[in-house]
Structure 1
Amino acid sequence: MSMDSRDHKNEWSRFLKSFVHAWRGIWKTARSERNFQFHIIAACAVILCGFLTGLSTAEWAVVLMLIGGMLALELVNTAIEHVVDLVTDQYHPLAKAAKDAAAGAVCVFAVISCIIGLLIFLPKIC
């Protein structure tokens, strides 16, 4: 076996393992983080409403992007919280600022997602 084919095989294996690690992170977060669990339940409710109201393809694209963005942002927020907690267990203004900023990003996206959701769903139910 040539060196090139072994390198290619190792790269492919590392690539596949990265998905395993990613899914492990999603699963662990889903099992342990209350806010992520809330967002999953909300996403399921929105998807159910989407089927009940007959969303168009474009509307589904927007809704799914918002759901994916919300879940991804909540994962990033959780990662930031874990890293900050790993670095220090004592109160520090910068640690608080980092956690608050990450939580703020989630909040901004959640509010905008709700507004867009209302723009999509209200005309269908009113």
Structure 2
Amino acid sequence: MNAPQTAPRQKPERITGVAHLFAAAGYSIGGLRRLWQETAFRHISLALPLCLILFAALGVGMLEYAILLVLFFGLIAVEALNTAIECIVDHLAPQWEEFARDAKDLGSLATMCLLCANGVFLGTVVFRSLALN
């Protein structure tokens, strides 16, 4: 017995003007909801306020806060892209495939690189703040 065929979905009409801004915001919120399902993103979300508290305790300047936020937003963006890669790869290769492993490993490497950049920055700020006191 064959499963019933479903008609292909039509591509939605392009949204333009101010409505596009609201649609794009909705898509971003949808992405944030999906990303919240990832443990790594929840850890990043927890680390940011802890780092902000640490910076406040150290009395660092506005430049350090700005760099911290840029690095964290970059980390969130890369984590979102890594999750997108994983979603696509899982769809394309439900069984183990070498290309799937490679794609996931490369996405993980990108995330790790930004985690390291955040760590280097945090370590530098903490070391410099403690060395000056």
Unaligned runs of 5+ in 1: 1-8
The aligned counterpart of 1:108 is 113
Q: Offset of 1:103 from its aligned partner?
A: 0.2
Q: What letter corresponds to residue 45 of structure 2 in structure 1?
A: I
Q: Which of 17, 28, 43 does residue 22 from structure 1 map onto?
A: 28
SS at match of 1:81: helix
4+ residue runs over 2 A deviation? none
The aligned counterpart of 2:60 is 55
Q: What letter corresponds to residue 34 of structure 1 in structure 2?
A: T
Q: What letter corresponds to residue 126 of structure 2 in structure 1?
A: F
Aligned runs of 1:1-126 on 2, under 5 Å?
10-30=16-36, 32-126=37-131
Structure 1: how far apart are the matches of 2:26 and 2:60?
33
TM-score, length basis structure 2? 0.81
SS at match of 1:55: coil
Unaligned runs of 5+ in 2: 1-14
Structure 1: how far apart are the matches of 2:27 and 2:60?
33
Q: Offset of 1:110 from its aligned partner?
A: 0.6
Structure 1: how far apart are the matches of 2:101 and 2:17?
39
Identity level (%): 21
Question: Is the helix fraction higher in 1 or 2?
Answer: 1
Give the RMSD, CA atoms, in angstroms: 1.5
Larger Cα-atom Rg: 2
Which shows bigger deviation, 37-46 or 94-103?
Answer: 37-46
Structure 2: how far apart are the matches of 1:74 and 1:24?
15
